[in-house]
Amino acid sequence: MESCIAQSAETEEIFPPKREFRAVWIATVDNIDWPSSKNLVPGEQQQEFSALLDFHKKVGMNAVFVQVRAAGDAFYAKSAEPWSEWLTGRQGRQPDPMWDPLDFMVSEAHKRGLEFHAWLNLNRLVHKSSTSVSAENISKIHPEWILSYDGYKLFNFGIPEVRQFITDMTVNVAKNYDVDGIHFDDYFYPYAAPGQVIQDEATFQKYGEGFANKADWRRHNIDLLVKQIHDGLEAVKPRMKFGISPFGVWRNKDRDAEGSKTFGALASYDDLFADSRRWIKEGWIDYIAPQVYFSSGFSRVPYKNLVDWWTENSYERHLYIGMGAYRVGYKDKDKHWSNPLEIPNQVRYFRESETDGAIFFSSRSLRANSLGFVDSLRGNFFRYPSLVPTMPWKDRIAPLSPRSLKATLLLKGIELTWERPEAASDGDRAWYYVIYRFAPEEKPTAHDPRRILGMCYEGEKFIDLTAESGKRYIYYVTAVDRLHNEGRPIGPLKVEVHDQKLVRF
């Protein structure tokens, strides 16, 4: 839409962002963020999760990334892998009473207008902190698929059957659950551990023909996997989002002229065999969320340098900056994290750089509000609502307008009602609605989120609880589809509360 309500071309006022991705990672491995303990009953887990969503919604978030596969396990019922020990206390033990956490979590997120991205760990089968390994764990069923490294059991990506299993496992989530996106983090080949060697020489000998060295072959394996998952998701749900959050540095400039102005740091391409830039360049993923977990003053890897590089290398796909919220206020060699303005300044910078938004790691760190940085999000940067940016390569057709906008005066405020629009030409109906309110002297504009009174995620009804007697208001309502295309408004509806009656003007 963005022009659905007229705006003068001469307008020079800078509005807060109308569209910005604002998300948080909710980690389940080792009970980092949720559930708080592996010994909770389902009712307590549900209560905790709903409270988490309420908190993040109040901070201003519009999406959550929830880890539903932590280590060869599952936080959902329709899975070939065993139930997670961090959910039920022992890997393979089913919840009692039985429930499907993923169905519940998606439903709760959507009720609050939050996108839900299913975050799956790609490489782990057994974690260092695992205390139980089920007979259904793939490491027990297919020990020939496994690399043992630094106390972990990991997938050997060089084996075609492994890549097929991971693809099938991922597509299974897309098929069976109403998630908005599929997400992988930075774990591909493992981060180097002193004295440890990845034991994949035999696999290289078997499958590495045509590759001069093992590093190129490993990168090729990951490329094949990412492309295969992209194709698998495209086949079952072409509008589902697919994205990855790699380590922040693709390559350092001291090693590659096309790399970022970072020096001597670990690099995704060289050290994890993950050619993260290629995935976005080839269009295999819809967004990239590099983990820019560095301060603005860190000399070898300055935050701004990485943001600049990724802005130039996002190839017209979405770029979300991975924010290191967990580092704020910690006793760290990098003293810049003790500055309460570090995160606020980072938010200012990613906005100035015209990225598409950010994802914060992780939920626990936001709830801790170290140095008050979350107060600055809630009260300043995320004070006004923001719609999720559109993905025109997936869907560019806006929904039709709502119909029959009416107002009724209730004791608690003005109730607006409307009728659901017909399906648009692509079959899409309204997924939610945006309600705008203006004073008579204001020029209506769709670009100013300060004029968004609220959003309606269920039904065709909204109550303005802030309407005051004797004042005049002008309302507009727009429909928004699943991929956040906004249609033209219905309105204006001009009303005044007068002598305990509602009158049109």
* Residues above pLDDT 90, as percent of the chain: 94
Q: Is the pTM of this model over 0.85?
A: yes
CA-atom Rg of the chain in angstroms: 24
Please compute the mean of the pLDDT values over residues 10-21 and round it to a whole number.
81
Is the pLDDT assigned to residue 307 strictly greater than 60?
A: yes
Q: For residues 497 and 5, which has the higher predicted lDDT (pLDDT)? A: 497
Query: Which pLDDT score, from 0 to 100, does residue 168 have?
Result: 98
Residue 8 pLDDT class (50, 70, 90 cuts): very low
Crossing angle of helices 101-111/42-59, nearest 10°? 30
Pick from 368, 274, 357, 359: which is nearest to 319 by CA?
357
Rounded to whole angstroms, the Cα distance separating 449 from 326 reads 29
For the chain, the average pLDDT equals 95
Nearest to 218 by CA among 153, 276, 158: 158
> What's the N-to-C CA distance of the chain in angstroms?
27
Least confident of 5-9, 166-170, 240-244, 313-317: 5-9
Give 30-47 pLDDT, tens digit per residue: 999 999 999 999 999 999
pLDDT given for residue 10 in this prediction: 42
Residue 4 has pLDDT above 50, yes or no: no
In the prediction, which pLDDT does 56 show? 98
**94, 40 contact by CB (below 8 A):** no
Interatomic CA distance for residues 292 and 298, integer angstroms: 11
- Residue listed under structure tokens 């329709």: 78
Instruction: Check whether 2 has a pLDDT greater than 70.
Output: no
Looking up tokens 């590759």 gives: 211
> pLDDT value at position 12?
54
Per-residue confidence (pLDDT) for residue 13, from 0 to 100: 73
Q: How many CB atoms lie within 10 A of CB 139?
A: 20
Taking residues 387-395, what's their average pLDDT? 98
pLDDT at 205 over 70: yes
Q: What is the pLDDT averaged over residues 10-37?
A: 91
Give the CA count within 13 Å in the CB-facing half-sphere of 249. 24
Residue 59 has pLDDT above 50, yes or no: yes
> In the structure encoding, which two tokens stand for residue 169, read together?
């496992």
Classify each residue of 79-92 as buried b or exposed e, where b means 16 or more C-beta atoms within 10 Å of its C-beta. bebbbbbbbbeebb
CB atoms inside a 10 Å sphere around CB 459: 9
Contact criterion met (CB below 8 Å) for 147 and 175: no
Strand runs labelled E in 150-268: 152-155, 181-184, 241-244
SS3 408: strand
What 3-state class would DSSP assign to 410? strand
pLDDT, average across residues 337-356: 97
pLDDT of residue 389: 98
Please state, for a pLDDT cut of 70, what percent of the chain lies above it.
98
User: Is residue 218 over pLDDT 80?
Assistant: yes
Q: Is the pLDDT of residue 331 over 90?
A: no
pLDDT of residue 128: 93
pLDDT of residue 501: 86
**Per-residue confidence (pLDDT) for residue 69, from 0 to 100:** 98
338: left (phi over 0), alpha (psi -120 to 50) or beta: alpha
Q: What is the pLDDT of residue 14?
A: 84
Confidence grade of residue 7 (pLDDT, cut at 50, 70, 90):
very low
Q: Tell me the DSSP string of 55-91.
A: HHHHHT--EEEEEEESSS-BSSSS-SSPBPHHHHSST
